[in-house]
Amino acid sequence: MNVLSLEGTEDTPRIILDKANNIFEISGRSLPEDSAEFFQPVLDWLDEYQKQANPETNFVFKLEYFNTASSKLILDILSKLEDIKGCSVTWYFHEDDEDMEEAGEEFSELVDVPFTFKTY
């Protein structure tokens, strides 16, 4: 399975989806011009990954900021993770960023995936 690797920019997050090395991470800032178009490769990759997922998948979100349009797509990603056995989420937030902590808590209540919260 191909690695999906997108370098982050000022407006788009860094994304690494690497089944072989068990790395699944979205980090940085997410306010792309067209969120649906930007995140479509991630959703497609997860559809493919789900067919032969690793026994354990820890998906890491380490976002500094995301806009409303991105939040919808993050929820779409989390919804796909619900269908992957052995999947969990680690939600990182800066220790003084209550908004990002609350966003993670809200997402965790909307999907049936175990969340771990960590500060950095």
Q: What is the pLDDT of residue 54?
A: 98
Record the tokens describing residue 57, joined without a space.
Answer: 């998948």
Number of other residues whose CB lies within 10 A of the CB of residue 112:
11
Number of independent structural domains in the chain: 1
pTM beyond cutoff 0.75: yes
Q: What is the pLDDT of residue 115?
A: 98
> CA 87 to CA 95: how far, in whole Å?
25
- The CA angle 81-105-109, to the nearest 5 degrees, is 60
Structural domain span for residue 14: 4-119
Q: What is the CATH number of the domain that holds 90?
A: 3.30.750
Q: What is the pLDDT of residue 34?
A: 97
> CA 92 to CA 108: how far, in whole Å?
13
pLDDT in tens, the chain (120 residues): 999 999 999 999 999 999 999 999 999 999 999 999 999 999 999 999 999 999 999 999 999 999 999 999 999 999 999 999 999 999 999 999 999 999 999 999 999 999 999 999
Q: What is the pLDDT of residue 47?
A: 98
Closest to 92 (Cα-Cα) out of 14, 18, 38? 14
